[in-house]
Amino acid sequence: MLDITARPPEASQEAPVAFTGDGGAFLRMMFKGALLQLVTLGFYRFWFLTNIRRRLWSDTAIDGDAFEYAGRGKELLIGFLFALAILAPFYILYFLAGLEAERLKAFASFPLFLVFYLFGQFAMFRARRYRLTRTIWRGIRFWMTGSGVKYALRSFGWAILATLTLGLLYPWREASLERYKMRNTYYGDLQGRFVGTGWGLFKKGAWIWLVDILVILVPWILFAVKLANAGAAHSDDDPVSGTAFADVKGWIILGSISPVVAVLLWPVYQAIEWKWWLDGLRIGEVRVSSRLSRSTIFGLYLGLFGVLIVLGICAALFIGLPMAMFGGASDGPPIGLLVYFAFVYIAALLVVGAFFRYFLQFRLWAAVMRSLTVYDLAAAANVQARGEAANALGEGLADGLDVAGF
């Protein structure tokens, strides 16, 4: 157990949050880490994630004091191996059910989804506990109590309610889960809490939910109805051909636009939810306020989409031109060309992954941190160290289920 007492802060009741990270250095680290993952067949991933967190934490400071991340790659590797031992039997049972009969495989899919959903929520809770106990500020460790099983069941119950209401209760779900996480979160002997409400988030984001319903769900429902009516009205073997197609093509066009609307609205909602969450955080009497704007988050996603479009064009050129020149042989493409395609594919994955982390980890983190102001920091002047370091099993489960976060 730590026995260090936090250094008293300055008398100011307003403390700035600074982020000093260099984007170019981070992007170079992404490419280097991607290459090392390639040559180590993915085993470098655990040290790679640790280095990312250590960089982001150390570049973030409150009132001039930077955070420290004390996690290790070896811990993540061990946690991941334990997680595989836990998850492997469920994958094997599902595989054996599929060998037995397609009927059994279909029957097993829902229980498997339920198990993985509960495991995923449990893993995210435990992974958060691990990351908190590896986060230190002014010599004092953050830590966490609570039950991952209770959190998973709470999340599942709210997920059912949110689904039955077409997402209408989602804000209340998020508020309930955040309250549970924060009241089990501590900085030394200061307990956390969350004061945001579901109604507060609903008021800010209800218009997005309404647009989603009107532009995404309704057109596809009407399209299905129109298609059924068109099929009944025409005797063609194909109900969407000829006149029948003319009856529904307007709804097809509108339905095709809906994914674009969803993509454009997603970063806007992300900005709303981020700000709502940040403004609701409390550690003891310490609170934060965020100036995060929707245009900032929208700009990050827009920049990422632009990069992906450019990368897609380049990949098409690198693949299309050689295929046009050498792929027309009667006995198929030569071996050298196949090796070249494999190299381009792997390189594209590495580059895309690097830019994803650059925009949606580094730049998102920087935007969030620079938007913050901390108030009443003097309340943390005499914090006493508490809590023990948690193991990395939850982080390993989260990684194995692909639900890991920062």
**Residues in the chain where the model's pLDDT stays below 70:** 1-12, 94-110, 218-256, 323-334, 390-406
96 CB neighbour count, 10 Å cutoff:
12
| Tokens 């830590």 sit on residue | 143
Secondary-structure percent of the chain, ordered helix, strand, coil, rounded to 5? 70, 10, 20
Q: What are phi and psi of 51, to 5 degrees?
A: -65, -40
Which pLDDT score, from 0 to 100, does residue 232 have? 55
Which pLDDT score, from 0 to 100, does residue 153 have? 95
Which pLDDT score, from 0 to 100, does residue 214 have? 77
| Tokens 């889960």 sit on residue | 177
Q: Measured between alpha carbons, how far is 401 from 117 in angstroms, rounded to an integer?
A: 9
pTM (2 d.p.): 0.82
Which pLDDT score, from 0 to 100, does residue 95 have? 66
Which pLDDT score, from 0 to 100, does residue 325 have? 66
Taking phi over 0 as left and psi of -120 to 50 as alpha, with beta for the rest, 63 belongs to left
Taking the chain, what is the end-to-end CA distance rounded to the nearest angstrom?
25
Tokens coding 250: 């307007």
Structural domain boundaries in the chain? 59-196+387-406
Which pLDDT score, from 0 to 100, does residue 81 have? 82
Q: What are phi and psi of 281, to 5 degrees?
A: -75, 140
Which pLDDT score, from 0 to 100, does residue 231 have? 54
Tokens coding 243: 């006149």
Q: Measured between alpha carbons, how far is 171 from 207 in angstroms, rounded to an integer?
A: 13
Which pLDDT score, from 0 to 100, does residue 263 have? 80
* Helix count and strand count (H, E) for the chain: 13, 10
Which pLDDT score, from 0 to 100, does residue 350 have? 84
Which pLDDT score, from 0 to 100, does residue 240 have? 47
